[in-house]
């Protein structure tokens, strides 16, 4: 049996960091800020299910 917990903290996440990119959440959309070394913008687009805003230039992360 599954038990469901109440939804809490709606809207508290403002930035998401993954192995592919750094994304900021604004107005219910993901805004691409940086991409991981060796990762193309096309790959990020293909693996992102939410609405994604992509600027003309997306810098590569400096690690």
Per-residue pLDDT reduced to its tens digit, 7-58: 777 778 899 999 999 999 999 899 999 999 999 999 999 999 999 999 999 9
Residues 6+ apart with CB under 8 A from 17: 23
- Distance in angstroms (rounded) separating the CA atoms of residues 31 and 23: 5
Tokens of 7: 């939804």
pTM of structure: 0.81
Residue 5 placed within a domain: no
Residue 29 placed within a domain: yes
**pLDDT given for residue 3 in this prediction:** 72
Residue 2 placed within a domain: no
- Distance in angstroms (rounded) separating the CA atoms of residues 53 and 55: 7
Per the structure, the count of domains in the chain is 1
Residue 60 placed within a domain: no
């Amino acid at each position: 049996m599954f038990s469901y917990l109440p939804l809490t903290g709606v809207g508290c996440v403002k930035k998401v960091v993954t192995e592919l990119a750094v994304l900021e959440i604004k107005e219910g959309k993901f805004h691409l800020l940086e991409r991981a070394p060796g990762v193309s913008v096309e790959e990020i687009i293909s693996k992102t299910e939410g609405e994604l805003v992509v600027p003309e230039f997306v810098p590569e992360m400096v690690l």
